[in-house]
Each structure stands twice: as structure tokens, then as C-alpha cells.
A and B are shown apart, each in its own frame.
Chain A
Amino acid sequence: MDSLINLLVAAVLAGTPLLFGTLGEILTEKSGNLNLGVEGIMFMGGVAGLAGAYYYERAAQDPSGLLALLIAIVCAFLCGAFGSLIYSVLTVTLRANQNVTGLALTIFGTGFANFFGEVMAGQSESGYAAVGDTVKAAFAGIHIPGLSDIPVAGRLLFSYNILVYLGVAAALALSWFLRRSRKGLSLRAVGESPQTADAAGINVTRYKYAATCVGGGICGIGGMYIVMVTCGGIWVHDCVGGKGWIAVALVIFAMWSPARALLGSLVFGALSIMRLYVPLGIPTQLYDTFPYVATVLVLVFVSLRRRRENQPPASLGVPYFREDR
């Protein structure tokens, strides 16, 4: 029982960066943009978030943990949005191929983050870029008197860091936005049939830019989570390590539904930390393949399903020309 709770708690913690990446990519893809640069954008958000908190902590006389957390979120969001802005300019305005642009963005973001991460490490006295204990504490699990002390439920529901709750809130908000709001309806129309949206007076270009940049910002927060929570506030070379790609696969697993992304990121989070909690007596390298094997299985399974609502947005990956308008 205890080990099951431990596994679940660890799965939530490991799944949260995937959740952010998935939510950001769902928003992006709903506008018809297939951004394969999630990995690179998470890297960019990660290094920017660390840099924000790190330099704030060094500059401030009496650093506040909560303010450092906010600065990290804002920096990660802006840097992720910046990465997606590059993507949007290339694919929406200049109509470059979306797949190629996304792959290039992954390579760019990885290099960008590793470069600045090393620069930060090189400039510090200790030789590595790490935040202090005050800031670290802001990214640690919360403790709500009373609620967190409830046996089992307290640990399962009220023991995580603030970013976990932010992720869940973002998923619910995105779900509401896409299903209920007027702008959400317009965004879905842009992703399904930009011609129809255009004829209905919706500014297709503006929606594509906005969704892609906000989506990139959300992905960036996922990268920041990896650096600040998973790695404990220290820059680790190649820290994102493929999580961005799993997020892209999770979008398909979730069939473009933010609510299902919650479940998906929990499952994939559990798979990625299983070797620590479920001894099966197999080499660790095999454990490490689980998320990827699951991704392949999911892709096969999802392609068998035929409900129209679960299909990708109809114009996904197709640039829109107004043509002879």
C-alpha cells in the first residue's frame, strides 16, 4: 500500500512536465500548427526559468522564494513563447514546412539552452549554476495544515509543489476554453478548416500566432519544471532528454483533449520512474524504454480508432493560403 502511494506520488511529480508540454502542444495543434519543436522549447523555457530565479536570487538582498517562483514561471513562459514565435513567423507568415521548422527548432533550443546553461555555470564561483535553499524551498512540496495530514489522501492530493496544481488548473482551464468559449470555437475552426473560419470573418493568422506562442509558453514552463524540480534547481546538461518528444506523443494519446492529457501524463510519468518503485528484475535500460514502447503502442492503438472527434484537427500541418481572395 505504501509503495503504491509512493509510486503514485512520484508519478505525479514525474508526469507534470509532460503535462505542461502536452497542454502547450494541444493548444498549438488546435490552431493547425504541428510544432515538433516542443523538446527545444522546453529546453529554452528550462534555462530561462533557471536564469530568472538564479539571477534574481543573486541580485536580491533578501530573496523571496515565492517571487523567485513567479519570476521563473514568467521567464520560462516568455522564452518558450519566443521559441514558438520563431516557429510561427517561419510557418505562418513565410509558409515554411512545419515538420522541418519544428525539427530545426528542437536542435536550436537544445543548443541554446545547453550553451547558456554552461555559460551560467562557468561564471559562478562553484562551477555549476544552482539556486540556493530559499528558492529551492519554493519549488518543494507544500504543506497545508490539516489537509496534508489526512492519511493517504493528504499525501496523494495535498503534498505536491505549486507547479503541479498550476498544471492541473491549466488543463481544466484549457478544456473549458476549447469546449465552451467563443474564442475556443473560433480557434478550433481555424485548425479544422481555415477557409471556413476566414469566410466567417475570423482572423486566421492572428489565431495561429496566439495559440502557437501561448502554447510554446506553456511548454516552456514544463521545461522549467524539469530544471527547478526534477533536477533540483541545478543546470544539468541535456536535462530535458526526450521528454518533449513524449509530450508530442501524449497529444495523440490524449486525442487532443486536455482532460485526457491529465491521465496520459500520469501514466507516462509512472512508466518513466517505474524502475525505482517496481522491481521486476530486469536491466534498468529496459525500464527506460517503457515510455517509448508505450508511445509506439499508443500510436498504433489510436490509429485504429475511428471516431471523428478523436481525429487530429483536419488542417493540422497544412499551411493556409487565402489564394485568390
Chain B
Amino acid sequence: MAFAWRSRVCALRHCSITGAPGCGPGAKGECGTNNPNAIEVRNLTKRFGEVVANNKVCLSVRRGEILALLGENGSGKTTLMNMLSGIYFPDEGDILVGGEPVVIRSPRDAYALGIGMIHQHFKLVDVFTAAENIALGLEGGPVIDRRALARSIREISGRYGFDIDPDKKVYDMSVSEKQTVEIIKVLYRGADILILDEPTAVLTPQEADRLFAVLRSMRDDGKAVVIITHKLGEVMALSDRVAVLRKGSYVGSVETAQTSPQALTEMMVGRAVALDIDRPEVQRGEERLKVVDLTCISAEGVTMLDKVSFSAYGGEILGIAGVAGSGQKELCEAIAGLCPVQGGAILYAGQVGGVEVHENLVGKSPMEIIKKGVALAFVPEDRLGMGLVAGMDVIDNMLLKSYRGSRGPFVDRGPARALAQQVVDRLAVVTPGLTAPVRRMSGGNVQKVLVGREIASSPEVLITAYPVRGLDINSSYTIYHLLNEQKQRGAAVLFVGEDLDVLLELCDRILVLCGGRVSGVVDARWAGKEQIGLLMTQTGKGDAQ
């Protein structure tokens, strides 16, 4: 093992001496300059089997600057940063810290060099306090000096403007507090190069602003900060410089002050893209769904939905905004019949025998609700968890919703195959074949299959939760287009989303949830981000309209 290891290191050294083509001294890019770079990578390449995740990437981060690393999904941003933080080992290329070539084998090596990464999924122990998490894994005497630890945590917090209680347990913390613990953990280990992987994905706009203030004060303290993101708004607001990756290759970097979102998008995608999301004007139709005083209490006894009331109309997209865990999931599941309801009613306007009636969906089985024309496409954090079976192919996943329709004891795959082919063709799903397990497809394609299947049943009410979660710009626009089509067809579309910019551009009205209550419903044409951000954190008086 150790032997093989040494030979890998030799290969690495060899490469740096011979200087592979790409961006050695004198070549384009910034590798050859004599800037006081905190960290620099030269010709870094990483392959996973056949796939080249990073191809001869060159990049430098200066002390006292915030660099935004921009790129679509699968462009290799996280892979690149994982090589700096010791999670992956590069196949080729050099990493220089403070001008010296280094070898980073593990997160521990990275810490020793002053590199700290804050991952998208926090690495914290829930039942430990903030202080215990920060001290975890550090060298020292047999007993932890908790008083000294708390003192230095407070000292770091004071210097950068954090607000944290060292004795608070992680399970009692909000997402932004957990992130703070992660950042302090990295700073406590003496990091002066900080890498943050999509840090704002789970924050409210106000929390994100606070984070940005902290990052700016770190920059002013002379630290190098790298932030991985695909939100252009943040790039423009926060960074000093932007580096763009596309399909694993380094495209270039620009000073933020000298660029625009449009130019950055073109760098990222490789061609001009219209950034505006369409919002077709459609005559608002009938009231399809009327939710009255809906209350849900979880198995743990926590009130997840508290007297939620609203209406959804045909021909409109109703956005649902809120901090993660504000009751979005329970609302979707309650309407689809998957979550027990403690109080209130879900009235569904449909036709029974040609007569318009309002029916209460509460107490009906999920199957009955689907038959009435309510479809749910929910994309959870792990993307595959709900709606599709990872080990089954596209056809069988289509069959999941329709096999009950056929007669006899045998399964008829014919119609499902036709439907699968239709979804794959229309949505340009990239798949090794209709009979390959969906887990082998990339996240975006899996989501297209899920949304495509739900749309195929021509629902009266379409509920989509996070359908663009983790998708790149092109795939996201395909999904937005599909939702607009459903709106134009006259369906009532509920769109649970994370990105406020998207919600504001796509939806007609936005309902904001906070702690399981409706804190407001705003008209997306006139509302601002700040207004929604405020509603996300405070429970208003709260009924709909």
C-alpha cells in the first residue's frame, strides 16, 4: 500500500518537472504570475474511471480575496475543491500552497496546510455541543480543557462577528447555526484558506447576508475564501473575482466588477442563454383546491402544519416558499394523502358525473386522490428517495402508477414502454436505455423522468417540490417550460421551491410558510425578495389572501 503510494507521488513530481502543456509558466492563465497566491493549482486532472472530472485545471486564489467558483452541475467544481481539502487525490498536476508544492493526502494534511472546507452536507455530531464538535479529533491531553476551548471559540466568534453558544447542542441548532459551527471548526484549526461548497443553499436571504458579512470580514483579515455556487446573484454581490469551470475544464477568470451575469452565464454554458424565465399570461381559471385550516402533527408530536389555509386556481402557478423544514413536505404529503391530517379540510373541485362538486380529500387513500387528478412530484434532498425506485428501469417506474389499470394476473409492459419512450424523447432524457436502472442516470435526468411521469397523467392539480434541485441551468429551464405548459393547459400547479429569484419569476402568486404557518401570500409580479425573506422568518397574522 505504502509502496504504491510512493510511486503515485513520484508520478506527480515528475509531471511538474516536465511541465505538461496547458498552463505552465508563460502560458495563458494566471499560473505564471508572481502574485502572492495563497493557493494555486496547476494542470490538475482527476478521472473517475472513464469520466474526466477535472481536466488540466489551473486556478489561483490570492490572499485577502473572495473567489467565486462558478459552473454548472457536473462541471467539476466540487471535485476540484475536494482535491484541495484532501478528500480526493489528484491523478496529475500540482498544488502549491504559499508558492511551495504540497501533497495533500487526507483532510488532516489539508488542515495542517491551513486549508479548511465547509461541505454542503455538514459533518457534525448531533448529540454533541458546538464546542465538542469543534474539538473533535484534535490532538491534546487526555482531558479536554472545556473552559479554554469555550474561551477561544468566543474569541474567534468575536473577531468575525459570529453569534454562537459553545454549549448548545447541534440538534437544537438552526441550519445557519450549524454552518457557523462548521466555519468556526475550520478557523479553530487555523485555516487561512476557506472553501465553502454552496453555503447559501439552505439559508434564508437574511442569513445569507449575515454569512456574507462574515466572509467579507475574513477577507479583510487576509484570508483567502473560495465559494462554490451557481447562483449568479451571490457571485455578483459577494466575490472579488470569478473563476468558471465548464465540463471539467477551466474556462477563465474575471474580476467581478468587470463582468455581468449574462457574460458569466455564457462562460458557464458556452453559448448565449436567455436568463429570463417565461411567465405566460393565462386567464386564471376555477378554484381547483381549497385548503382550510389544515393541521398536521408529526409522529414525534411536533406541529408541522398549523391551520394552513389557501386556494389554488387552474391556470396559475402557486409558489410555496419557506426555509427548509417549514412544513413544505408535510403540505405536499397531506394533499397527496401520504401524511395523516389532524384537522382541517382539503377541498378538491372536480367533476363527478358531470356535476361540479367540492370533495374533501382528507381521509382518502393516495390511490383515490391520484385517480381524481392530483399528481405529486416531490424531489427530496437525496433526489431519489421518493417517487422513483432506483433499482428499477424507466419502464417499470412508469408502470408503478399504471399497473393497476390492466386486467388479468400478468403485467402488460406495452403502454408503459410507449409512455417511457415518449417522456425520454420529449424531455431529452439522457439514458443508457429504457431498461437501465434509473440510479445509473444523472440526477437531472432522473428528475425529468419523475416530473414527466406525473405530467403524463394530465393532472388537474400538479404538485412539484424542488423539481430543479441540483439541476443545471439548461435542465432547469426545461422543467420550468413543462410547468408553464401545464399552467397553460389549465392545471393548478403548486411549485415548492428554494430559489427566491426563480419563484419570483416563474410563479403567479407565492405562499410563504414559516414554522408550519402561512405567514403571507404575495403577488409574484410585485413582491420583492426582501419582503418574502422577512415573511420566511416571521409568522404573520396569517390567513391566505
- A residues within 8 Å of B by Cβ? 180-183, 185-186, 188-189, 192-193, 195-197, 199-202, 306, 308-309, 311, 314, 325
Contact = CB atoms under 8 A, between A and B. Distances in A.
A197 B126 contact: no
A197 B136 contact: yes
Interface in B272-328: 300-301
B127 A308 contact: yes
A153 to B, nearest CB: 33
Contacts of B257: none
Contacts of B135: 182, 185
Contacts of A186: 136-137
Contact of B142 (A181, A189, A192, A202): A181
A189 B133 CA distance: 9
- Identify the 9 closest CB pairs spanning chains A and B, nearest first: A200-B137, A201-B108, A196-B123, A201-B137, A192-B125, A200-B136, A199-B123, A202-B137, A193-B125
Interface in B113-172: 123-128, 132, 135-138, 140-144, 169, 171
7 contacts: A188-B125, A192-B125, A193-B123, A196-B136, A200-B107, A308-B171, A314-B127
Which of A186, A193, A306 has the most B CB atoms < 10 Å from its CB?
A193
Q: How large is the interface on B (under 10, 10 to 19, 20 to 34, 35 or more residues)?
A: 20 to 34
B106 A196 contact: no
B444 to A, nearest CB: 20
Q: Describe B's contact surface by its main secondary structure.
A: loop
B300 A189 contact: no
B137 to A, nearest CB: 3
Interface string B27-67: 00000000000000000000000000000000000000000
A249 B127 CA distance: 22
A185 B149 CA distance: 14
Contacts of A192: 125-128
Q: Describe A's contact surface by its main secondary structure.
A: helix
B103 interface: no
Contacts of B144: 180-182, 185
A193 B143 contact: no
A197 B171 CA distance: 17
Which of A185, A188, A309, A325 has the most B CB atoms < 10 Å from its CB?
A185
A98 to B, nearest CB: 21
Interface of B: 87, 106-108, 111, 123-128, 132, 135-138, 140-144, 169, 171, 300-301
Contacts of A306: 300-301
Given A186-B136, A197-B136, A200-B107, 10 more contacts: A181-B142, A188-B128, A189-B128, A193-B126, A197-B125, A202-B136, A308-B127, A308-B169, A309-B127, A314-B127
B136 A189 contact: yes
Contacts of A311: 127
B123 A195 contact: yes
A201 B132 contact: no
A184 B112 CA distance: 24
Contacts of B169: 308
B106 A189 contact: no
Contacts of B123: 193, 195-196, 199-200
Contacts of B126: 192-193, 308, 314
A308 B87 CA distance: 31
Given A200-B136, A201-B108, A182 B142 contact: yes
Contacts of A325: 87
B143 A197 contact: no
A180 B143 CA distance: 6
Contacts of A180: 143-144
B455 to A, nearest CB: 34
A50 to B, nearest CB: 36
Contact of A182 (B108, B128, B143): B143
Which of A181, A182, A188, A189 has the most B CB atoms < 10 Å from its CB?
A182
Contacts of A183: 142
B421 to A, nearest CB: 33
A201 B107 contact: yes
Contacts of A188: 125, 127-128
A306 B300 CA distance: 8
A180 B124 CA distance: 19
Contact of B137 (A197, A308, A314): A197
A201 B106 contact: yes
A309 B132 CA distance: 14
Contact of B132 (A181, A185, A195, A308): A185
Contacts of B127: 188, 192, 308-309, 311, 314
A82 B71 CA distance: 53
B105 to A, nearest CB: 11
Contacts of A199: 107, 123
A315 to B, nearest CB: 10
Contacts of B106: 201
Which of A180, A183, A189, A201 has the most B CB atoms < 10 Å from its CB?
A201
Nearest to B117: A199
B140 A196 contact: no
A309 B300 CA distance: 15
B486 to A, nearest CB: 38
A288 to B, nearest CB: 37
A189 B142 CA distance: 16
A306 B299 CA distance: 11
Nearest to A202: B137
Nearest to A310: B127
A196 B142 contact: no
A309 B108 CA distance: 29
A107 B264 CA distance: 66
Nearest to A183: B142
